[in-house]
């Protein structure tokens, strides 16, 4: 059945060069990245955005004439393993060009084998082998690793004059851990001729903006991160384009307005759009439908939303603020409308707003708050 073929097309996986034709409207972000690479003499630069927005896709499609290395972290248990992971991957990718890299790679393999044992060594790198009889359990030699990273970056700059290091998957860590890693590696990574692009969690972008605009505050993110490329949420029309590009051969299976429903639900996030489309298609398969119409899609989304959010228990006053007439706007504007239109006390309106924000019913994008696409399906018949 053709419905079944759609599922594969909607797998949520990063795009690479082979399927970059599926990319939608990231030209501005790529332009900014290319300008940084070309003109900035050094520094750590973040690529930020919400989970599922496409950070790895962007990283996969960064191309430059300069010598560049792309690495994807897999070991992120703590600050030590992140450093070892960066060092190992960087030495692995450069061992054909830099003699020191082979020495570093072997050192890291031996260190990890001793610390984690044979099985951990195998899972960490795939080809480490060490006798269990020789196992020890030393601590991570953090300072030796930093020394090696410093030497390796020096060698790369000496040979290529300007180098681009691209690090993916660091955004999976907590804000605190990410900042600790980057702050402790400033000396090794912030060198003339060395550009570092790293994926970062969205929470860091919020803090970075605050630090940049409040010079007298205690924050020091701008001392670690020179600038951030923010991957904005997609518009509804862009989400529609993303979906249609993937299922264009099967678009006849959907009534005209179904893709609009999916885009509205997604809140500008492709991952959410792929997921809800798959859920609708699976439901259609179970019903043996020949086509998905607007009513079926809407009913399916409503059922799924209420199933997943059924633990959210709201009072009638709280439900009253789930009203599109109050949104979008700033927190103060929305609360003011709620006080006037819903006759809520000021303290109650603020309290309800904060609860709805915490539960995801209200979402924030660049200081403007609006109802999420999911919220429109709550508490409706």
Element (H, E) at 322: none
Give the pLDDT band (50/70/90) at residue 171: confident
Q: Does residue 283 lie within any of the structural domains? A: yes
Looking at 206, 230, 254, the residue that finishes a domain is 230
Q: What is the mean pLDDT of residues 348-356?
A: 95
User: End-to-end CA distance of the chain, in Å?
Assistant: 32
For the cut 50, the answer to whether the pLDDT of residue 119 exceeds it is no
d(CA 101, CA 90): 8
Q: What is the pLDDT of residue 138?
A: 57
Tell me: do 354 and 373 sit in the same domain.
yes
Looking at 271, 287, 308, the residue that finishes a domain is 308
Q: What is the pLDDT of residue 149?
A: 96
The two structure tokens encoding residue 215: 């010079």
d(CA 2, CA 22): 20
Its domain, for residue 167, covers: 25-230
Q: How many domains does the chain have?
A: 3
Instruction: Residue 300: name the closest of 281, 273, 272 by CA.
Output: 281
Give the pLDDT band (50/70/90) at residue 135: very low
- Top pLDDT among 80 and 283 is at 283
Name 236's bridge partners.
Answer: none
Tell me: do 130 and 158 sit in the same domain.
yes
For the cut 70, the answer to whether the pLDDT of residue 1 exceeds it is no
Tell me: do 166 and 241 sit in the same domain.
no
Mind listing the pLDDT tens digit for each residue in 48-83? 999 999 999 999 999 999 999 999 988 767 788 889
Under a CB-based contact definition with an 8 Å cutoff, are residues 113 and 130 in contact?
yes
The two structure tokens encoding residue 366: 């660049």
Element (H, E) at 362: strand 362-365
Tell me: do 109 and 221 sit in the same domain.
yes
d(CA 112, CA 121): 6
Q: What is the pLDDT of residue 308?
A: 84
State what percent of residues in the chain have pLDDT above 90.
66
Q: What is the pLDDT of residue 205?
A: 85
Element (H, E) at 117: helix 99-125
Give the pLDDT band (50/70/90) at residue 127: low
Tell me: do 80 and 105 sit in the same domain.
yes
Q: What is the CATH number of the domain that holds 239?
A: 1.10.8.60
Give the pLDDT band (50/70/90) at residue 176: confident
């Amino acid at each position: 059945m053709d419905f079944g073929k759609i599922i594969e097309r909607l797998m949520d996986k990063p795009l690479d060069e082979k399927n970059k034709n599926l990319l939608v409207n990231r030209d501005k972000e790529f332009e900014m990245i290319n300008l940084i690479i070309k003109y900035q003499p050094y520094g750590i630069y973040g690529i930020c955005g919400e989970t599922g927005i496409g950070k790895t896709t962007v990283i996969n499609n960064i191309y430059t004439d300069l010598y560049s290395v792309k690495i994807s972290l897999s070991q992120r248990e703590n600050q030590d393993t992140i450093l070892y992971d960066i060092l190992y991957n960087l030495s692995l990718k450069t061992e054909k060009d830099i003699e020191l890299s082979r020495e570093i790679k072997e050192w890291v393999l031996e260190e990890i084998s001793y610390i984690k044992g044979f099985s951990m060594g195998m899972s960490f790198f795939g080809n480490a082998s060490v006798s269990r009889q020789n196992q020890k359990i030393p601590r991570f030699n953090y300072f030796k690793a930093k020394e090696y990273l410093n030497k390796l970056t020096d060698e790369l700059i000496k040979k290529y004059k300007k180098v681009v290091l691209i690090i993916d998957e660091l955004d999976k860590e907590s804000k605190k851990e990410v900042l600790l890693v980057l702050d402790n590696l400033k000396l090794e990574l912030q060198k003339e001729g060395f550009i570092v692009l790293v994926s970062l969690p969205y929470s860091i972008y919020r803090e970075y903006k605050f630090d940049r605009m409040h010079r007298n505050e205690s924050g020091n993110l701008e001392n670690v991160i020179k600038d951030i490329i923010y991957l904005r949420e997609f518009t509804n029309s862009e989400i529609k384009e993303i979906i249609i590009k993937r299922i264009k051969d099967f678009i006849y299976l959907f009534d005209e307005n179904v893709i609009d429903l999916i885009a509205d639900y997604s809140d500008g996030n492709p991952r959410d759009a792929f997921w809800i489309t798959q859920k609708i298609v699976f439901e259609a398969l179970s019903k043996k439908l020949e086509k998905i119409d607007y009513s079926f899609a809407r009913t399916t989304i409503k059922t799924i939303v209420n199933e997943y959010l059924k633990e959210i228990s709201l009072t009638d006053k709280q439900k009253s603020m789930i009203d599109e007439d109050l949104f979008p706007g700033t927190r103060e504007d929305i609360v003011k409308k709620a006080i006037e239109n819903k006759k809520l006390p000021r303290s109650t309106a603020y309290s309800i707003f904060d609860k709805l924000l915490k539960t995801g019913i209200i979402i924030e994008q660049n200081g403007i708050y609006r109802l999420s696409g999911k919220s429109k399906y709550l508490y409706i018949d």
